[in-house]
Amino acid sequence: MKALVSVRNLTRIFDVSKPWLNRMIERKPKAMLTAVSDVSFDIPEREVYALVGESGSGKSTIGKMVVGLLTPSEGTVEIAGVDLARETDADKIETVRSDIQMIFQDPFASLNPRWKVRDIIAEPVAARGGDTAGLSEKLLEQVGLAAEDAGKFPHEFSGGQRQRICIARALASEPKLIVCDEPTSALDVSVQAQVLNLMSDLKDEFGLTYLFISHDLTVVRHMADKIGVLYLGRLVEEADPTTLFERPAHPYSQMLLAAAPKMDGFGREVVPPKGEIPDPINPPPGCAFNPRCPLAIPLCRQERPELRDVDGARVACHRAEEALARGRDANDA
Amino acid sequence: MSEPVLSVRNLVVEIPTRTGVLRPVDKVSYDISAGEILGVVGESGAGKSMTGNAVIGLLDPPARISGGEILLKGQRIDNLGREDLRKLRGKEIGMVFQDPLTSLNPLLRIGDQLTETMLAHLDITQDEARGRAIAALDEVGIPAAASRIDSYPHEFSGGMRQRVVIALALCAEPSLIIADEPTTALDVSVQAQIIALLKRLCRDRGTAVMLVTHDMGVIAEACDRVAVMYAGRLAELGTVRDVVQRPRHPYTDGLMGSTPLASRGQRRLRQIPGSMPRLGKLPDGCAFHPRCPKAEARCRAEPGPTLEADHGRAACWFPVEAAEVVS
Ligand SMILES: Nc1ncnc2c1ncn2[C@@H]1O[C@H](COP(=O)(O)OP(=O)(O)O)[C@@H](O)[C@H]1O
Ligand SMILES: Nc1ncnc2c1ncn2[C@@H]1O[C@H](COP(=O)(O)OP(=O)(O)O)[C@@H](O)[C@H]1O
Ligand code: SF4
Ligand SMILES: [Mg+2]
Ligand SMILES: [Mg+2]
């Protein structure tokens, strides 16, 4: 299948140095934070690609680079063959831009409180001089609200309803790709279920492609066709949900999955993960997970593992085969 | 069975407002025994925090207890004066909140906060207190406790700060801990560390724990029994296994169906229509009836039966039968 989104060697470095004068006085060097490091993946049309990882792992930074809100320090993002950061043809840029929309976690912050819902939803189309007559009313019904809601203000809605409004706005320009950054993380589970079901329905109806960002493994497992696991800005494993959840191959994925609460884990005694995520300004050399990894060998401290095919997944670990075998033994026990 | 550490009986909390009296906690009853973890689960606004705050006497006015009793080791504590309550809080009840910084003084070294609390409540010397503070930090998993004891709260990561708060909550050897969403702001791997720590400490010391969370997975893993709250009332109370695997209240059943964790493999999640009503706009009868697939005339007229601490499981006229549970 053709990839709608193609991300190659994507890297983003932030300059987090103190102001110049402080640095001179304290004799401190510049501090560079690598938020995303050499990440590559494809999203085929009409699929859901999920990025999962703990906070600070680089999920939002990747999402922003994919929609063009941030420029990559290195590497490329191509949407339908067009690299927004390098393309010079204004028409092409315009077409691709209108094919991409984004939904954020906080439906409160992303809606202008002084605008009526009608104007909020139609804005992406109005900005391009498109026809907005009846558009908001139609979209409101498509996301499970009422056409009359178009005349109301955001504060008249609950959190779940506001997220529906954000989804309606994202749909207004008939996009192909929607980047969803923690779209249900602020919602209660019963409302989350409504919004996730809506997103699945809309995807089928409009043939949408999602880049779905979440820290919640259960949500990701439910929604994704393919999952990329991030650790400290690096893609450490990529697999379909069944493969990832049934036989995670990267020691970090294994740790994360073991730590996640299980619905049938009554009285389960988890061996809690050891250590914490290291400082992204001074990441460990070699494999970034090596200080916490039970399988680390000297090579892991010297050489950064490349993503490679391992038993149906792509895994960045020198010892993925051993990790898989270890996971199997733990399951048998 | 021995006397419960905490007994809450028909607790009612009211908030007077211009448009009428709101009841964020309405006739709630439960017990927690020594060494037991009771989970309190429900969606935001259900009244979980209000219940916990009522027990520790930290309701923000104008909210106040207007009915029922709270007993700690058999003694009523809902009618204590301010000063007695303050002493009780430090000595008998430890608290852990979602944001560790609400429990820590940013201007004091963590060691000083620990020793101050111990000196206020235990009959020990300054040196003993410092020794015990180091031991406490060590016990909650702060690496190199002896050298970190003189650090300030901001010098720790979020997960480490929450460990310090747990050490602080436990240092006066309380009989009850109230933990309100202690891991909600933390990553999964840190959450697992904190939950494992709470479970271990509770078991080793026989502390009773009230664990407030909106996360059913955390409940399933950490708790012995669970109370499900909806719109200020107890919807269901039972052992965690019963409530998770054989929910009786249609709300609990719906909540389980909505959880992606529980219904894995299904293309669509089972969803409860609508959302929890606001307190000022509670429907008559059972507050859940407008969203309930089983509602009948009786549900629209009468609130479900009030749950007692020791019998009855679901506050519902037509509880879900085992055969009906889908997920
Ligand atoms: N504008 C910025 N300036 C400096 N550092 C940033 C900026 N945005 C993100 N970061 C850092 O980059 C890393 C990745 O952040 P982010 O992509 O937001 O992670 P996630 O969404 O997975 O939580 C973090 O360490 C974060 O602090
Ligand atoms: N000062 C107040 N005035 C009116 N309503 C309040 C006030 N404080 C809290 N509430 C309401 O009390 C209810 C219970 O809140 P809370 O116990 O914090 O819920 P939970 O912890 O379950 O999310 C909520 O519906 C909240 O809106
Ligand atoms: S590369 Fe080495 S340190 Fe990294 S996860 Fe694999 S075994 Fe562990
Ligand atoms: Mg983010
Ligand atoms: Mg609360």
Contact A49, A212 (CB under 8 A): yes
The residue with greater pLDDT, B18 or A268, is B18
The whole domain housing B27 covers: 6-92+174-324
Task: Tokens 């060998």: give the residue.
Answer: A297
Chain B hits for A215, Cβ within 8 Å: 187-188
Residue A202 CA to residue A196 CA, distance in Å, equals 10
Q: Which residues pair with B112 in a beta bridge?
A: none
Distance to chain A for B8, nearest Cα, Å: 25
User: Mean pLDDT, chain A, as a whole number?
Assistant: 92
The ligand with the least distance to the CA atom of B180 is 5
pLDDT tens digit sequence for B254-309: 999 898 875 455 678 888 988 888 888 899 999 999 999 999 999 999 998 888 87
Q: Is residue B121 part of a domain?
A: no
Q: Is residue B261 part of a domain?
A: yes
pLDDT of residue B220 exceeding 60: yes
pLDDT band at A164; cut points 50, 70, 90? very high
Query: Which whole number is the average pLDDT over A12-21?
Result: 88
pLDDT tens digit sequence for B15-37: 999 989 999 999 999 999 999 99
Domain ranges of chain A: 3-247, 248-263+273-333
B206: domain CATH number is 3.40.50.300
Q: Which residues pair with B16 in a beta bridge?
A: B21
Distance to chain A for B78, nearest Cα, Å: 31
For a pocket test of ligand 3, which of A293, A301, A302, A315 has the largest count of ligand atoms closer than 8 A to its C-beta? A293
Q: Is residue B143 part of a domain?
A: no
**Percent of chain A topping pLDDT 70:** 99
3-state DSSP assignment of residue A214: strand
Q: How far apart are the first and last CA of chain A?
A: 40
Chain B residue with Cα closest to A270:
B196
Report CA-CA distances (Å) from A142 to A135, A146, A201, A211, B301. Answer: 11, 9, 10, 21, 34
Strands A100-103 and A177-181: parallel
Residue B42 CA to residue B229 CA, distance in Å, equals 5
Q: Is residue B106 part of a domain?
A: no
Report CA-CA distances (Å) from B84 to B80, B89, B97. Answer: 6, 9, 22
Between the CA of A52 and the centroid of ligand 1 the distance, in Å, is 14
Q: What pLDDT shows up at residue B327?
A: 44
Q: Is residue B136 part of a domain?
A: no
Q: How far apart are the first and last CA of chain B?
A: 34
pLDDT tens digit sequence for B154-209: 999 888 999 999 999 999 899 999 999 999 888 898 899 999 989 998 899 999 99
Between the CA of A287 and the centroid of ligand 3 the distance, in Å, is 6
3-state DSSP assignment of residue A180: strand
pLDDT tens digit sequence for A169-200: 999 999 999 999 999 988 888 889 999 999 99
pLDDT of residue A270 exceeding 80: no
Query: Which whole number is the average pLDDT over A59-77?
Result: 96
What crossing angle do the helices spanning B110-121 and B126-139 adopt, rounded to 10°? Answer: 120
Residue B229 CA to residue B212 CA, distance in Å, equals 11
Residue A297 CA to residue A318 CA, distance in Å, equals 9
Q: What pLDDT shows up at residue B25?
A: 97
- Long-range Cβ contact pairs of B75-81 (< 8 A, separation 24 or more): B78/B11, B78/B54
CB contact (8 A) between residue A193 and residue B270: yes
With CA atoms as reference, report the closest residue to A167 among A222, A97, A113, A117: A117
pLDDT tens digit sequence for A108-156: 778 899 999 999 999 989 988 889 999 999 999 999 999 999 999 999 9
Strands A74-79 and A82-83: antiparallel
Give the domain A3-247 fold. Answer: Rossmann fold (3.40.50)
Q: What pLDDT shows up at residue B323?
A: 63
Residues measured by CB to lie within 5 Å of ligand 5, the ion: B 49
Q: How many CA atoms lie within 13 A of A183 on its CB side?
A: 34
Strand residues in chain A grouped as ranges (E):
3-15, 32-44, 48-52, 74-79, 82-83, 100-103, 177-181, 209-214, 226-231, 234-239, 308-310, 313-315
Residue B63 CA to residue B44 CA, distance in Å, equals 18
pLDDT of residue B1 exceeding 80: no
Distance to chain B for A273, nearest Cα, Å: 6
Report CA-CA distances (Å) from B256 to A277, B87, B164, B217, B253. Answer: 32, 40, 33, 10, 5
Q: Which of B163, B186, B189 to mutate to test the interface with A (most CBs of A within 10 A)?
A: B189
What is the phi/psi pair of residue B219, to 5°? Answer: -60, -50
| Structural domain total, chain B | 1
The ligand with the least distance to the CA atom of B42 is 2
Chain B hits for A255, Cβ within 8 Å: 189
pLDDT band at A85; cut points 50, 70, 90? confident
Classify residue B71 as exposed, middle or buried by CB count within 10 Å of its CB (0-12, 13-18, 19+). Answer: middle
With CA atoms as reference, report the closest residue to A316 among A241, A246, A257, A251: A251
**Interface pTM (ipTM) of the complex?**
0.88
CB contact (8 A) between residue A190 and residue B214: no
pLDDT band at B321; cut points 50, 70, 90? confident
Q: What pLDDT shows up at residue A272?
A: 80
Q: Which atom of ligand 3 lies closest to the CA of A320?
A: 6
Radius of gyration over alpha carbons of chain B, in Å? 21
pLDDT of residue A1 exceeding 70: no
A-B contacts at Cβ under 8 angstroms: 120
What is the phi/psi pair of residue A228, to 5°? Answer: -110, 130
Q: What pLDDT shows up at residue A327?
A: 87
Q: Is residue B50 part of a domain?
A: yes
Chain A residue with Cα closest to B255:
A190
pLDDT tens digit sequence for B105-152: 999 999 999 999 999 999 999 999 999 999 999 989 898 899 999 999
Q: What pLDDT shows up at residue A23?
A: 79
Q: Which atom of ligand 2 lies closest to the CA of B51?
A: 17
CB contact (8 A) between residue B216 and residue A188: no
User: Mean pLDDT, chain B, as a whole number?
Assistant: 91
Chain B hits for A158, Cβ within 8 Å: 275
